[in-house]
Amino acid sequence: MKLRLTVNGEPREIGEVGADESLLTVLRDSLGLTGTKNACEQGECGSCSVYLDGGLVCSCLVPAGQAEGADVGTVEGLAGYRDLDPVQEAFAQAGAIQCGFCTPGLVMAVHDLLRRVPDPSDGQIREALAGNLCRCTGYQKIISAVRLAAGRVNGHHGY
């Protein structure tokens, strides 16, 4: 089947998509947007997190056909032409990156958290990031990055 959707603000059309394909394979294999990572394919790790019509989802669990006409936002869409998103900047500055594989999914999850809860408590941070695994176990610095990003988002423009 054919699929039309908006990705990071741009209308995209994919000529042939399988009925059992996921949104994740469309993003990575058809559109070349490999920032969204493929790991567990069962919604456990969060490394494929993207926005689907404004809500955070595991793209590996979204049948591609359900994204027909949808507005999808990936990690590639967060940064501007020159500047990183404040969440991405905070991850870099806090050293919240080791192997980097989980980073795009975590950045998306933190971006989503700070849109909903601009000044999250530690409990809220932990609950919001519970679906994103870091196999390097660098969670302390990730939580520091969330606090850093929250301060910046609140201090400047907000989401």
Instruction: Give the interface with other proteins as residue ranges (CB under 8 A).
Output: 1, 18-20, 22, 41-44, 46, 49, 55-58, 60-63, 65-66, 68, 109, 112, 127-128, 130-132
CB of 25 to other proteins, least distance (A): 9
CB of 155 to other proteins, least distance (A): 25
Nearer to other proteins, 61 or 92 (CB): 61
Nearer to other proteins, 42 or 137 (CB): 42
Nearer to other proteins, 123 or 155 (CB): 123
- Residue 134 Cα distances to 69, 105, 111, 142, angstroms: 32, 10, 17, 9
CB of 112 to other proteins, least distance (A): 7
Q: How far apart are CA 62 and CA 80, in angstroms?
A: 27
Residue among 56, 55, 36 at smallest CA distance from 47: 36
Nearer to other proteins, 19 or 156 (CB): 19
In the chain, what are the helix, strand and coil shares in percent, each to the nearest 5? 40, 15, 45
Residue among 112, 88, 103 at smallest CA distance from 135: 103
CB of 157 to other proteins, least distance (A): 24
Q: How far apart are CA 60 and CA 21, in angstroms?
A: 9
